Chain A
C-alpha cells in the first residue's frame, strides 16, 4: 500500500465521476490542440511551398493572384496568361539575379485521353528553373527527358511501369516530390519541350486540343541579387511592367493566411465557451465528490493524514484524471490527423502538413498543460475547503 496506489484506487472506484472529469480534460486538451495543430499544420505547409518555390517574387497576370494561389494550394487549375515579353523586361533589371517562367495547364475533365481529370500541370523551362532543380539534382541526377514528368506526392500509378496519359500522350513518371499538404501534391511537372510535344500530338490523340501559347506565360518566379530590397524591386516592376501583379514571397498566400486567422478567431470564441463549460462541470463534479467523500476524508484525517496530505492527495487525483483525459484527447487528435491528412486538406480547404517535431512536441505539451491547469483550477476550491475541515466535522453526516 502506498500513496500512488491509493490515488489509483480512488480514481478508478467511481467510473461515472472519473469519466466526467476525464471527458472534460479530454475536451480541454483536444480542442485547443486540434485547432492549433491544424493552423500550425497550415503554416508549416505554406512554409514548405514557399521554400520549394525558392523565389523572392512571384509575378502573375494582374488580378490573377487568387487564382494562382488557389492553383498552387488547392491544385485547382485555372490557367492565366500574360505576355512572354514581360520576362525580358524584368530580366533587364539589375536587381534580378534569376528568373524562370511557368505555364499553368490542366488536363481535361472526364476525358479518356487523360489519366486524371482536371489535373494541374506546371510547365517549367529547364534552362532557367530553380524550383525543381534541387530535387532533380538530388533524386534524378539529370534533367527530365522528353516525355518524362515528375509528380507531387499524391501522383502515383497502380503499375509502376505504366505511363500517365496526358491529352492522349503517354508520359513517364520519374519520381515524386515530398508531401507539401497542398494542391501541389496532385500536380504534374513537365518541361516546356514535353508540353509542346504533348500539345502537338493532342491534335490527333486528344478529345480536345491542348493549346500552349508560345508567346504567353502564366507566372514568373524571380530570385533577387543578395542584399536587394524585395519591396523596392516589386514597386519597380509594378511601375515599369503593365498588366502584372507582383507578390513578395512573405506575402504569398495572404488570403489563405487570413482565412486561417479568421478561422482561429471563430474557433477561439467557441473554445472559450467550451473551456468555461468544462471547467464549470469539472468544478461541480469535484464539489460533489468532495461532499460525497467527506466522511472518508475525515477518517483519513483521524488516522493521521495532515491537511496538506489530503489536499495533495485530492489534487493528485484531479491531476491524474486530467492527465489521462488530456493524453487521450491529444492521442486521438494525432491519430485522426495521421490517418486523415488528405481529408483535412480537402474537407477544410486549407493546406496541411504535420508541424515540425519540435513544434509538435510543444503543442502536445501545451495541450496537456491547458487541461491539467484547468482541471486543477476547477478542483482547487472544493479540495481546499474539504481539506480545511476539522476531522470530526467531516465525519459527521
Chain B
C-alpha cells in the first residue's frame, strides 16, 4: 500500500552542516497492517511517518501510495489524497482553539467534496460518541483535558473514513491510564473498521496480534518484527 523506496531525507540547517534524518530507507506497509515505528530520539521515526503521509518531500528516493509516486502528483491531488484517504493524530495539541469540539471534528470535510454539511455533523457526533465525548460537542479545546483533546483528534482523523491512520506519538503527553485508553481506541478502529494504522510510539500497551514493529536507528531500519 505504502512503499518507501531508498528514501533519504536531509534537513538543511542554519550553518554549513545539514542533518540526515533517514538514509536510503526502504519499507512497505500493507493494507490492513497495524504498524508501530519505534526508535530512539533522532532515529527518524517522525520523518518516516511524514514521508509516508506526503507531509515532507524526500531528498532522494520514492514514496509510493498504491504504486503512485506521491511527489509526482500536483499539490491539489496530494492534498485531496491526504484529505480522504488518510487520518492524522499528532503528538502536539492540534485542535483549532477557536473551533468547538464538533467543529474541529467536521473541519476536514470542508477541504473536500466528501460529506454534505448535515451528514458531516451526524458523522462527527457518532465519532465523538465512539470516543466517549458526546457531551462535549460545544466545548472548546481549552476546556478539555489532554486525553480528551486527543480523543477529539482521533474522531477528527476518522471523519472522512480514511484507509490509513497516521499517528505520531499520540500518547506522549498523557498519563498511563489515558495512554491505555487512546491505544485501545486506535486498536479498536483498526480491528473494527479495517483501517491501516501507522503509529510512531514508545508505548508498551500495543496488543494487536500480528502488529508490525519497525525499529529505526540512525535513519535506517534496524529491526523488523511482529507481535
A-B contact pairs, 28 of them (CB 8 A): A1-B99, A2-B110, A6-B107, A6-B110, A9-B96, A9-B103, A13-B98, A295-B92, A295-B94, A299-B88, A299-B96, A300-B111, A301-B79, A302-B55, A303-B107, A304-B79, A304-B83, A304-B112, A304-B160, A305-B83, A305-B111, A306-B75, A306-B76, A308-B75, A309-B79, A392-B47, A392-B56, A393-B56
Closest chain-A Cβ to B108's Cβ sits at a distance in Å of 5
Our pick among B47, B94, B98 for the contact of A10 (Cβ within 8 Å) is: B98
A1 and B55: CB pair below 8 A? no
Tell me if B120 is interfacial: C-beta within 8 Å of chain A: yes
Tell me if A347 is interfacial: C-beta within 8 Å of chain B: no
- Nearest-neighbor residue (CB-CB) of A9 within chain B: B98
Closest chain-B Cβ to A298's Cβ sits at a distance in Å of 8
A1 and B106: CB pair below 8 A? yes
- Complex: how many Å from CA A132 to CA B52? 86
Q: Which of A381-397 contact B (CB under 8 A)?
A: 390-393, 395
Q: Which of B116-142 contact A (CB under 8 A)?
A: 117, 120-121
As a 0/1 sequence over residues 138 to 177 of chain B, the CB contacts with chain A under 8 angstroms (1 = contact) are: 0000000000000000001000100000000000000000
Closest chain-B Cβ to A388's Cβ sits at a distance in Å of 10
- A6 surroundings in chain B (CB, below 8 A): 99, 107, 110
- B47 surroundings in chain A (CB, below 8 A): 392
A390 and B112: CB pair below 8 A? no
- A391 surroundings in chain B (CB, below 8 A): 50, 55-56
- Nearest-neighbor residue (CB-CB) of A390 within chain B: B56
Closest chain-A Cβ to B148's Cβ sits at a distance in Å of 18
Tell me if A296 is interfacial: C-beta within 8 Å of chain B: yes
Q: Which of A1-40 contact B (CB under 8 A)?
A: 1-3, 5-6, 9-10, 12-13
Do most interface residues of chain A lie in helix, strand or loop, or is the interface mixed?
Answer: helix
- Complex: how many Å from CA A309 to CA B80? 11
Do most interface residues of chain B lie in helix, strand or loop, or is the interface mixed?
Answer: helix
- Nearest-neighbor residue (CB-CB) of B88 within chain A: A302
Tell me if B82 is interfacial: C-beta within 8 Å of chain A: yes
Closest chain-B Cβ to A303's Cβ sits at a distance in Å of 5
Tell me if A67 is interfacial: C-beta within 8 Å of chain B: no
- Complex: how many Å from CA A5 to CA B103? 10
A308 and B50: CB pair below 8 A? no
- A306 surroundings in chain B (CB, below 8 A): 75-76, 79-80, 111
- B residues touching A (Cβ–Cβ < 8 Å)? 47, 50, 53, 55-57, 75-76, 79-80, 82-84, 86, 88, 90, 92, 94, 96-99, 102-103, 106-112, 117, 120-121, 156, 160
B80 and A13: CB pair below 8 A? no
Tell me if A307 is interfacial: C-beta within 8 Å of chain B: yes
- Nearest-neighbor residue (CB-CB) of A303 within chain B: B108
- Complex: how many Å from CA A13 to CA B142? 13
B82 and A9: CB pair below 8 A? no
Q: Which of A205-254 contact B (CB under 8 A)?
A: none
- B111 surroundings in chain A (CB, below 8 A): 300, 303-306, 309
Q: Which of A171-204 contact B (CB under 8 A)?
A: none
- A308 surroundings in chain B (CB, below 8 A): 75-76
Known: A1-B117, A2-B117, A13-B97. A303 touches B76 (CB 8 A): no
B82 and A304: CB pair below 8 A? yes
- Complex: how many Å from CA A300 to CA B156? 12
